[in-house]
């Protein structure tokens, strides 16, 4: 029987989820849901790598500014998709929405390969972005609610790093197809293969359960218990010696929330957890501007400032992606062991300084295309861990019943303020072919990263190894 909204009760399901040893079941969840980040990286890389090819007369014949406009359309779509699907994932559940958003992404990506002018291309990129934005809300919510608390930081950062696995795959696809096929055919095939990759995980996702935490907060205790027992059964089959499992924690006090109003969401974000809101906004805006400014336009930098042919740009994006992939994986455990506050502040401050230094070296002519790429690999080894920690922060610091919408709002504001403006600004600066102008853009990104690092040092929350329920129980203003 479903509980009525407002009913207070105790449940042992959250502690049971957190005590589970890592198992093949967790790996399946990570692969099925973590594909979101890989798909986003794939999209960004494909469009970035084929950008120069799309300016050629035999293709869509876009201008450099229109390439930047296409990137902006994608990010605007991500903002809208996050807000719409974020609300729906809190209302109707994580599972239902992460199936819908993946379907939206696949359809729009395939349609991107059929574009015939700038308008059709921009519309397809907008809808593709909407699917990815919705994915972030539904998937981030589900992942954090299913992963044990003691490894949540490392797991989240590693999952987020698969964005860069997507960039490597995208770079290989772009290099292979643009090099082997005529430009007017190769760029279309790139999108078709990207959609095929995403389609391969649809069946796997069908076997990921609904979040028991979401079910509890919507009064559906019996369904939550049934799913919890099924999860424990799968984990037990792989690790039958329960004596080695972490000891169970006591049941936690919960309240059935039902549908949460926008007024309630506003109270939580703007009054009850105002400091956490400032923290999340600072981290999201800074990383969005720095990353999108550098990465969305890097293929154009290589082409216009270093003379790299469009067909070879993918070769330079591969090591860039590998450096970004390695950072969160190798540094991720420190976010659980050393702590969120220290590691988030350190990675943001270090990233800001390195971005400024690398941009300055570019203006002074210290680098060629190879050494410039090597420098960015080092910079984003650290910056990738910082950016991943922003998503971790906004997904674990707010109550389960409004987590999807909270993630959506932070993603939307961060992307809107930092991500939408950055590609357009850098694209305009590149039109001038002026390295000093591009450096100004890099400095803005560096300054935002340093400022966010300062905010994290001042008001970061000690969320490491705590359950989601314990984090939410911390008094407002806890640092």
Torsion of CA 314, 316, 319, 320, to 10 degrees: -100
- Whether 167 is in a domain gets the answer yes
Q: Could you tell me the sign of the dihedral formed by the alpha carbons of 458, 460, 464, 468, in that order? A: positive
Read out DSSP for 375-398?
Answer: HHHHHHHHHHHHHHHHHHHHHHSS
Q: Is residue 240 part of a domain?
A: no
What pLDDT is recorded for position 51?
A: 77
Give me the number of domains the chain comprises.
1
- Asked whether residue 252 is domain-assigned, the answer is no
82 to each of 72, 104, 261, 449, 470, how far by Cα in Å? Answer: 15, 13, 17, 23, 26
Asked whether 301 and 310 are in contact (CB, 8 A), the reply is no
Q: Tell me if 127 sits within 8 A of 84, measured CB to CB.
A: no
Per the structure, the complete domain to which residue 465 belongs is given by 9-212+257-473
Tell me the two tokens of residue 296.
């969305």
The reply to whether 76 falls in a domain is: yes
Asked whether the beta carbons of 193 and 172 are under 8 A apart, the reply is: no
For residue 382, what are the CA distances in angstroms to 134, 162, 288, 326?
27, 15, 15, 9
Is there a domain that residue 204 lies in? yes
pLDDT score recorded for residue 119 = 93
H/E run at residue 103: helix 94-112
Does some domain include residue 272? yes
Question: b/e for 132-143, b at 16 or more Cβ within 10 A?
Answer: bbbbbbbbbbbb
Please check whether residue 287 is in contact with residue 449, taking contact to mean a CB–CB distance below 8 angstroms: yes
Domain containing residue 310: CATH number: 1.20.1250.20
Q: According to the model, what pLDDT value does residue 243 have?
A: 67
Query: Which residues in the chain land under pLDDT 70?
Result: 1-2, 175, 178-179, 183, 243, 296-297, 304, 310-311, 314, 418-420, 423-424, 426-434, 436-437, 474-479
User: Residue 479: what pLDDT?
Assistant: 46
Residue 156, in any domain of the structure:
yes
Instruction: Say if 161 falls within a structural domain.
Output: yes
pLDDT of residue 169: 80
Look at residue 282 in the predicted model and tell me its pLDDT: 94
């Amino acid at each position: 029987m479903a509980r009525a909204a407002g009913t207070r009760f105790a449940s042992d399901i959250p502690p049971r989820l957190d005590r589970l040893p890592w198992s093949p079941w967790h790996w399946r969840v990570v692969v099925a849901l973590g594909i979101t980040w890989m798909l986003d990286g794939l999209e960004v890389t494909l469009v970035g790598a084929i950008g120069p090819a799309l300016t050629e007369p035999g293709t869509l014949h876009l201008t450099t500014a229109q390439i930047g406009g296409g990137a902006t359309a994608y990010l605007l779509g991500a903002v809208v998709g996050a807000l719409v699907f974020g609300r729906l994932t809190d209302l109707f559940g994580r599972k239902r929405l992460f199936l819908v958003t993946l379907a939206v992404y696949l359809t729009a990506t395939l349609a991107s390969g059929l574009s015939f002018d700038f308008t059709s291309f921009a519309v397809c990129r907008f809808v593709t972005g909407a699917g990815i934005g919705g994915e972030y809300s539904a998937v981030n919510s589900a992942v954090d609610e299913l992963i044990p608390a003691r490894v949540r930081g490392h797991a989240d950062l590693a999952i987020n790093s698969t964005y860069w696995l997507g960039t490597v795959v995208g770079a290989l696809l772009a290099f292979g197809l643009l090099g082997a096929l005529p430009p007017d055919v190769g760029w279309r095939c790139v999108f078709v293969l990207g959609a095929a990759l995403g389609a391969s995980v649809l069946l796997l996702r069908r076997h990921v359960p609904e979040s028991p935490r979401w079910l509890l907060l919507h009064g559906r205790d019996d369904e939550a218990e049934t799913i919890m027992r099924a999860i424990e059964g799968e984990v037990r089959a792989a690790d039958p010696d329960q004596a080695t499992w972490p000891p169970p924690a006591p049941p936690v006090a919960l309240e059935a929330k039902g549908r949460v109003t926008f007024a309630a969401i506003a109270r939580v974000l703007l009054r009850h957890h105002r400091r956490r809101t400032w923290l999340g906004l600072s981290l999201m805006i800074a990383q969005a501007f720095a990353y999108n400014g550098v990465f969305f336009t890097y293929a154009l930098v290589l082409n216009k400032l270093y003379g790299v042919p469009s067909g070879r740009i993918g070769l330079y994006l591969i090591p860039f992606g590998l450096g970004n992939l390695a950072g969160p994986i190798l540094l991720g455990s420190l976010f659980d062991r050393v702590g969120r506050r220290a590691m988030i502040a350190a990675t943001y401050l270090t990233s800001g300084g390195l971005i400024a230094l690398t941009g300055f070296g570019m203006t002074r002519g210290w680098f060629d295309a190879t050494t410039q790429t090597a420098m960015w690999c080092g910079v984003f080894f650290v910056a990738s861990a910082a950016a991943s920690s922003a998503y971790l922060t906004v997904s674990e610091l707010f109550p389960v019943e409004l987590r999807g919408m909270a993630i959506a709002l932070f993603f939307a504001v961060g992307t809107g303020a930092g991500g939408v403006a950055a590609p357009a600004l850098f694209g305009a600066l590149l039109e001038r072919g002026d390295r000093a102008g591009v450096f100004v853009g890099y400095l803005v990104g560096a300054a935002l990263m340093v400022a966010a690092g300062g905010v994290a040092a001042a008001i970061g929350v000690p969320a490491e190894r705590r359950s989601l329920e314990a984090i939410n129980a911390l008094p407002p203003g806890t640092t």
